[in-house]
Amino acid sequence: MGAADRLLALEADAADPASVRAVLEKTEQKFGAVHVLINCAGGNKGKSPFLELDIAQFEEVLRLNLTAGLVVPTQVVAARWIERKTRGCIINLASMSSFIPLSGIWAYDAAKAAVHNLTMATAKEFASHGIRVNALAPGFFLGNQNRALLIDQATGELTERGRKIIAHTPFGRFGEVRELAGALLFLASEAAAGFVTGVTLPVDGGYLVDNI
């Protein structure tokens, strides 16, 4: 079986139940029952002092990270699993700001704290249906969204923000994609993590336990 037979790319508005339901049905038509949902819609816009935050932008970021990033897909997929008595696994994307707020990004902080909270709440509610709910909380990984903030594109050296993050990370480096992927596969595996639910797992090189 080639890659084309194992992959299906579909576009959906994760904040729209009908749109999510439509791509779920198309996925089931190609692959059969779905057993894992990874809620990863998210991002941030803007940074400001609290008294200057833009309310419309605040609500937009909340909708992206919480409504689209967890609530709607979870409702749609979990309802299907419960109806069909399917054991499933939901993995939400949390953040370092789920535990410690990062400065100036108020809506993102609030949304990711809520992801941590709702991961626990939905894990309890769905446990009797055989549905596990966990979350990953990545530390700092270099990606398209943050690379220019952490690495000086002209010199290749760390920016001031990048230096602060590394100084706050006991491992002294950014994470590697394979390390995040390994944690995700662990949570997705019924054999490895079948008794794990309600957990937000930091993959952060010790960022959250940094101390003097």
Could you give the residue numbers annotated as active site? Answer: 108
Greatest C-alpha distance within the chain? 56
Q: Please give the structure tokens belonging to residue 151.
A: 């690495």
Q: How far is CA 177 from the centre of its chain?
A: 14
Q: Please give the structure tokens belonging to residue 111.
A: 């949304």
Residue 159: φ, ψ to 5°: -75, 175
CA gyration radius for the chain? Answer: 18
Q: Is 34 helix (H, G, I), strand (E, B) or coil?
A: coil
Q: How many CB atoms lie within 10 A of CB 130?
A: 15
Residues present in the chain in total: 212
CA distance 183 to 170: 19
- In 3D space, the residue among 131, 14, 22, 123 whose CA is nearest the CA of residue 67 turns out to be 14
CA distance 128 to 87: 10
